[in-house]
Each structure stands twice: as structure tokens, then as C-alpha cells.
Amino acid sequence: MITQMQVKGLMFDPYNNAYIVILRDEDQSEMLPIWVGKSEAGAISLALENVSPPRPMTHDFMKAYLDAVNAKVISIVVTDLNENTYFAKIHLTYEDSEYTIDSRPSDAIALALRSQAPIFVNESVIKKQSTEEFDQWLENLKPEDFGKLDS
């Protein structure tokens, strides 16, 4: 089973000097935090805010590459969580065939946002995610750390 989720926001994690992408399902009952690097967070943020930089950034280039050959992103799926590493798959159609390509979730999400493609998460990932760890992380969070959360 897979659940469709949307990117609800991006937060800075001052403890790990990283960023967290917050995915939520439509009825707001499930949430999935995904830790990503600075440049990947930048790529997601530009797409969330609909900013077109003067020169194509890496994921704009990725999208242009697929557009140039008429390949289309149909969906992306966050498929697995293994020792705090998330795995994702990008589903493409190209010349009437479907292709599935292994990816990091950050690249998959940055590309999905630019392609208006839906983001899915395997239910096993939502169950498996260490909520304990995230709860503990949340407890340590100060109010000012919430500045970056989009609502």
C-alpha cells in the first residue's frame, strides 16, 4: 500500500546542521520527516516557492533533460527506510514504456515538484520511521527553530 503525500515544509535542523523535508498525507494523519543536505534542500525550496533562478539549477537541468527526450515523470515513491537512509523510486514514461529508477528521496522530490508529479510513500516506511527519534528531536527544539516551516 502506498499513501500520497505532499511537501508541507522545510525546516532547518540546527542539531545536525541539515534540513528536514516534512511530508504529510491529505487528511494530516501521517507525517514523514526526511533529512536532506543543504543543496538538496535549496533545490526543493526553489520549487516550493516557484522561483525561477536566472540559470537552470541541477534539478532544472534534470527536468530539461527529460523534457528534451519527451520522458515524463509519472510519480515518485519513497520506498524504504534502512538505517536512517531513505530510498526512492522515480517512475518515468518514455516512448510508451515505463521505467523505474533508483534515487535518493531528495532528488526524487525536487524533480517531482518541478514535474507536477505526485509523491507517494510506502506505508511500511511510515510505520518503520523512528517516531521516537523524531519526538525526542522535537522536544529539544526551541520555538525560534520553527521559523522556516511553511504552513
Looking up cell 533533460 gives: 65
- Does the protein bind other proteins through residue 39 (CB under 8 A)? yes
Interaction with other proteins in 53-72: which residues (CB under 8 A)? 55-59, 61-62, 64-69, 71
Dist. CA 106–CA 89, nearest whole Å: 11
- Does the protein bind other proteins through residue 135 (CB under 8 A)? no
Sheet holding 18-25, edge to edge: 31-36, 18-25, 2-13, 119-122, 72-82, 85-94, 97-103
- Does the protein bind other proteins through residue 104 (CB under 8 A)? yes
Dist. CA 92–CA 100, nearest whole Å: 6
Kindly state the smallest distance separating residue 26's Cβ from other proteins, in Å.
28
Question: Which range of residues in 2-10, 17-25, 92-100, 133-141 is near other proteins by CB under 8 A?
Answer: 92-100
- Does the protein bind other proteins through residue 146 (CB under 8 A)? no
- Does the protein bind other proteins through residue 48 (CB under 8 A)? no
Q: Which of 5, 20, 47, 92 binds other proteins (CB under 8 A)?
A: 92
- State the residues that interact with other proteins by CB under 8 A: 37-40, 55-59, 61-62, 64-69, 71, 85, 87, 90, 92, 94, 99, 101-104, 107
